[in-house]
Structure 1
Amino acid sequence: MPEQPKHLRSDYRYFHSISTRWHDNDVYGHVNNVTYYSYFDSAMNTYLIQEGGLDIHRGDVVGFVVSSSCDYFAPIAFPDAIEVGLRVGKLGRSSVQYELAVFRQGEQEACAAGRVVHVFVERAQNRATPVPERLREVLEALRVA
């Protein structure tokens, strides 16, 4: 099996801090794998709301997750303080592929790395729509070459 590429803090453009919670741990004493997806959601949506002005309650356009994956390299556990790194790998007409990584605070190598694809849709019609211009601008700022 080939060695996983390292995911380094310097590879990411935006960071979202999270304090792990007691109930994030599973019976094995580390954060359960499904919880990483909630960390990803928090990082992506915080960025879209704060930087892109996404109105998740009343906006005409919303982002739906259509694909996601995560690879795990080292465990994290409560009470770890973590940061989720975010960058954009691909930006299409109506979709964006985020690349994310979970870092223990102050560490340079990721404990996990994943990918999430959002498709932007018109809320009323539930149909794909072009990424709104303001969101496109802030997503471009995170885009990697």
Structure 2
Amino acid sequence: MAGGFLHAGRAVRSVDLGAHESHGPQRLHAGRRVEAGFRGGGHSSSQLQLRVRPLCGHRRRCARLRRGGRHRRLPLPAESREPPAVPGQSPRAVSALELGRPTDRKRPFKYSALTRVGFSDTDAQGIVYYGRYLPYFDSARVEYHRHLGMLETARGEQEFVMRANTIEYLAPARFDDLVEVFIRVSRIGRTSVTYDFAAYRVEDDLLMVTANQTLVLVDLDERRPYAIPEHYAGQIAAFEGDDLGR
């Protein structure tokens, strides 16, 4: 088809239809009406002249924009008031929601968190890439501390950093597997905390991965170990009980 672009409110170049014919008005998806008519007074010319005109609703909207000024700024969706993530709950209450639970099913573990294997977690073999278990353990540790009311989001003068990480892989997980990660604090030293993890596939209760991680509390300015406060160690000891090593 020969011709050019369609412009609202003005005629475009003639279109050669060849042996094809078109009759009557047509409607475009863009909300404009196309009126068709043959040039030259007859069909023999095989030339069709198109005129695109905005529909009534479109014209009214254009008129409103002109009255408000050419550069009038329209409200963006992001400026509207957004409902809370959970209806009826404040943001603080939502942040307190746990993705884990206390449990006594896998002693000496007393807490577990759930995660589901995403497609991006798998590798070319179709199983969970070995490095993806670390985020699973990180998430479980966050939920553990959330349960104890120890999740501090503000950056302080001292923070825990990873000192050692040992992982043993026993069985593979695959896309969409529901994984339950059991977590506990096995030891608290003067400046360090040691966590144990065990990841099970929920469907058949298969143990897939175990891990042991040691984190050290450091002073951020000096980058040196810092003594763990007694109240911090006390909260964990109250939850872990006699299973906690000191």
Structure-1-length-normalised TM-score: 0.82
Does residue 220 of structure 2 align to residue 119 of structure 1?
A: no
- What residue number does 1:142 align with? 240
Alignment match, 2:164? 67
* Structure 2 residue 234 is matched with structure 1 residue 105: no
Stretch of structure 1 that moved more, 32-41 or 121-130: 121-130
For 2:214 and 2:136, the matched residues in 1 are separated by: 15
**Are 2:115 and 1:18 equivalent residues in the alignment?**
yes
> Percent identity over the alignment?
27
Q: Which residue of 1 aligns with 2:184?
A: 87
- Deviation track 1:43-65 (CA, whole Å, cap 9, x = no partner) reads 11332345242424322321101
Comparing 111-120 with 129-138, greater Cα deviation is found at 129-138
Relative to 1, partners in 2 of residues 1:109 and 1:12: Cα closer, same or farther, differing over 3 Å?
farther
Counterpart secondary structure, 2:184: strand
Specify which structure has the bigger relative contact order, considering alpha-carbon pairs within 8 angstroms and separated by 6 or more residues. 1
Q: For the residues of structure 2 that align with 1:121 and 1:48, how far apart are their CA atoms? A: 18
Q: Which of these residues, 127, 132, 155, is aligned with residue 30 of structure 1?
A: 127
Give the direction of change, closer, same or farther, for the CA distance of 1:134–1:73 in structure 2 (3 Å limit). Answer: same
1:76 Cα deviation from its structure 2 partner:
0.7
CA 1:54–1:126 in 2, change beyond 3 Å: closer, same or farther? farther
Tell me the TM-score normalized by structure 2.
Answer: 0.51
Following superposition, the deviation at residue 106 of structure 1 comes to 5.5
User: RMSD across aligned C-alpha pairs, in angstroms?
Assistant: 2.1
SS at the partner of 1:137?
helix
Q: Is the 8 A contact 2:178 2:203 kept in 1?
A: no
More strand by share: 1
The higher radius of gyration belongs to 2
Counterpart amino acid of residue 34 in structure 1: G
1:30 to partner: Cα distance: 0.6
Shift of the 81–108 alpha-carbon distance from structure 1 to 2, 3 Å rule, reads: closer
Unaligned runs of 5+ in 2: 1-104
